[in-house]
A and B are shown apart, each in its own frame.
Chain A
């Protein structure tokens, strides 16, 4: 019973933080399951992918109601993301535990460093709400009380990054949001709140393609996946409500620290060194 509660708690934390910064929570869920709960890595990835689907579904429903999500941009990038996830899902299920841990740990170090310096992102240029182009959009910013319009730039780069994000998703059981959000913000000049909402929208489909492969290979353990998913749903609902109140900069720094610590543990475990 305690095991089930801890699994749900892992999902809750992953879902809460993930929904607030546009991630699926897999970057927290997988190391927590593997390192602390000794879940076999392929079962952990399968549970994480389902958790990412749950985060995306819960958070994006809330963000869609607030008209924060750019569905045109999201569906455009999804064509590349799903393609990458399709390939990654097959490659990842055939890789060994140490290889997966090493890849995952290395990626998490990069993510943690990026999130730690996230405040240096460039502000997107201000555009009139009616001049947003084919993929741009506008939304009401509750903090300032104003309508924020933006255009989407450098789409080819964004499509390429989405392909990579999908590949990583399939390999590592994450949603790829850790790559999608910075690319949308720093390269495609999408405002942070819209990028978080759009990433939350996309990662569910990204994870779905990979999760289907793990499901059909018999790697979904309901004893692990069900508590994680239920915890994620509660956390993601709470996170989507909190996201409008908490400064994302504070949350990002906290998450960066936690991710860095987990990344170090994953890298050490990939070479056979246990820190527990």
Chain B
């Protein structure tokens, strides 16, 4: 289990570092452009345009999305790890959690 634990830790750390980097980039852009209007609602559809125009809002939203995706990636990592170790019951549990998380996202978007 120790190998699986360390592999999962690396997935979590990688996602966290990427999220923090994006959030810090947004802060740097905010400080560098005083007077820029603050965005009070995270909008996924604005990410590409904001990133291309170096607007902080896009970096903030993308960073928060990456943070939100990290636990999901962690579950996916566990799913593959349990499969590799032939721990079928726990790989089934991991798969079920992934399905429920996907359902949560789908229902949220549909609502």
Residues on the A chain within 8 Å of B9, using CB: 60-62, 64-65
Residues on the A chain within 8 Å of B53, using CB: none
CB of B38 within 8 A of chain A?
yes
CB pair B16–A225 under 8 Å, yes or no, is: no
Among B97-111, those with CB < 8 Å from A are 97, 100-101, 103-105, 107-109, 111
B12 to chain A: closest residue by CB: A61
A51 to chain B: closest residue by CB: B67
The 8 A CB mask of B19-59 against A (1 = contact, 0 = none) is 11001101100000000001111110000000000000100
- Least CB distance, A60 to chain B, in whole angstroms: 6
Report the Cα distance A83→B107, complex, angstroms.
13
CB of A82 within 8 A of chain B?
yes
Interface residue count on the B side (C-beta < 8 Å) = 54
CB of A184 within 8 A of chain B?
no
Residues on the A chain within 8 Å of B93, using CB: 75-76, 78-79
CB pair A86–B100 under 8 Å, yes or no, is: yes
CB pair B1–A137 under 8 Å, yes or no, is: yes
- Decide: A222 near B97, CB < 8 A? Known: A56-B71, A61-B9, A211-B68: no
- Decide: A208 near B8, CB < 8 A? Known: A71-B78, A78-B97, A222-B42: no
Q: Which of B57, B67, B89, B107 contacts A53 (CB 8 A)?
A: B67
Interface centre among A62, A212, A230 (most CB of B within 10 A): A212
- Decide: A64 near B16, CB < 8 A? Known: A209-B101, A211-B68: no
CB pair B68–A217 under 8 Å, yes or no, is: no
Residues on the B chain within 8 Å of A61, using CB: 9, 12-13, 16
CB of B4 within 8 A of chain A?
yes
Report the Cα distance A67→B41, complex, angstroms.
39
CB pair A71–B68 under 8 Å, yes or no, is: no
Residues on the B chain within 8 Å of A86, using CB: 100, 103-104, 107
CB pair A226–B4 under 8 Å, yes or no, is: no
- Least CB distance, B72 to chain A, in whole angstroms: 6
Report the Cα distance A82→B97, complex, angstroms.
7
CB pair A72–B64 under 8 Å, yes or no, is: no
- Least CB distance, B75 to chain A, in whole angstroms: 6
Q: Which of A134, A137, A208 contacts B68 (CB 8 A)?
A: A208
Residues on the A chain within 8 Å of B94, using CB: 75
Residues on the A chain within 8 Å of B111, using CB: 90, 213, 216-217
CB pair B4–A220 under 8 Å, yes or no, is: no
Q: Which of B64, B82, B89 contacts A222 (CB 8 A)?
A: B64
- Decide: A85 near B104, CB < 8 A? Known: A208-B71, A222-B39, A225-B64: yes
Interface centre among A76, A215, A218 (most CB of B within 10 A): A215
CB pair B5–A67 under 8 Å, yes or no, is: yes
- The 7 closest A-B CB pairs, nearest first, are A216-B108, A64-B9, A222-B60, A204-B71, A213-B108, A61-B12, A220-B42
Mind listing 29 A-B residue pairs with CB under 8 Å?
Answer: A50-B64, A53-B67, A53-B68, A57-B67, A57-B70, A60-B9, A64-B5, A64-B9, A64-B12, A65-B9, A72-B90, A75-B75, A75-B94, A76-B93, A83-B100, A86-B107, A89-B108, A205-B74, A208-B68, A208-B71, A209-B100, A209-B101, A212-B101, A213-B108, A215-B64, A216-B108, A218-B41, A222-B61, A233-B20
Chain B residues within CB distance 8 Å of chain A: 1-2, 4-6, 8-9, 12-13, 15-16, 19-20, 23-24, 26-27, 38-43, 57, 60-61, 63-65, 67-68, 70-72, 74-75, 78, 82, 87, 89-90, 93-94, 96-97, 100-101, 103-105, 107-109, 111
